[in-house]
Amino acid sequence: MINDLWYKNAVIYCLSVETFMDANGDGIGDFQGLQRRLDYLSGLGVTAIWLMPFQTSPQRDDGYDIADYYNVDPRYGTLGDFVEFTHGAKQRGIRVLIDLVVNHTSDQHPWFQEARSDPDSFYRDWYIWSKKKPANADEGMVFPGVQKTTWTHDEKAKEYYFHRFYNFQPDLNTANPHVQAEILKIMGFWVQLGVSGFRMDAVPFVIAEKGADVTTPKPQYEMLRTFREFLQWRLGDSIILAEANVVPKENLK
């Protein structure tokens, strides 16, 4: 088996922990339940499991609104259960990929709570703010019809914040070096716990220029290079799979 090309021939099985297997009978799937089904998955010929978001979340958008990147949502178990699961998978030659949702956080995330509470907060510049509602606030919604705008006024901050998705999912200011460093730290953390790579959510938005004055956001491709180099340095044969919902000629870039 050629290790560095494992993902080329992998049989990837995507699952939501919540709906898979419930070990403690509370009606919600969990990591202990998933652990019990590893032999079954192995028997199917699965060589990689891709987990949909399972981190701490108010669950207003199927877990894509994350409130703590360094923990497992208590409904699915503990970090200990997660490590048991990745260890069990490794014993069976199954790799684990996880969703990496870093375009935005939940508005319940302590970073956002701190950012909105104090204009001088360290976290203020982790998000995108504007004193007045930008002219293009009613364009570029990911969920048109459901979502009225990409800029919402925050009572506490007394400013508008940018959100490409729902208004409870404020966008991270991914151009901020502190935010980029934090994204690397998040990846490093999960790699340490047995993960072989990430499916990165909403990549074109993660690397786009963000701000009230940006009319045609240019992609910052070097940001992806930074993520990629860091991950390769930490774990040689790890991968990032991009959710890049753009036209094919853009995809190549």
Contact 187, 206 (CB under 8 A): no
DSSP 116-155: HH-TT-TTGGGB-EESS--TTTTS--SSBTTB--SEEEET
Q: What is the rounded CA–CA span in Å between residue 238 and residue 36?
A: 25
Contact 70, 59 (CB under 8 A): no
Q: What is the rounded CA–CA span in Å between residue 34 and residue 49?
A: 11
List, in sequence order, every residue forming a beta bridge with 72; answer none if it has no partner.
Answer: 55
Rounded to the nearest angstrom, the gap between the alpha carbon of residue 79 and the centroid of all alpha carbons in its chain is 17
* Helix-strand-coil split of the chain, %, nearest 5: 35, 20, 45
Q: What is the largest CA-CA distance in the chain?
A: 57
Tokens representing residue 158 in the block: 């007394």
Q: Which residues are catalytic?
A: 201, 243
How far is residue 242 from each of residues 103, 111, 180, 205, 230, measured CA to CA in Å?
12, 25, 17, 11, 16
Q: What is the rounded CA–CA span in Å between residue 149 and residue 128?
A: 14
Element (H, E) at 198: strand 197-200
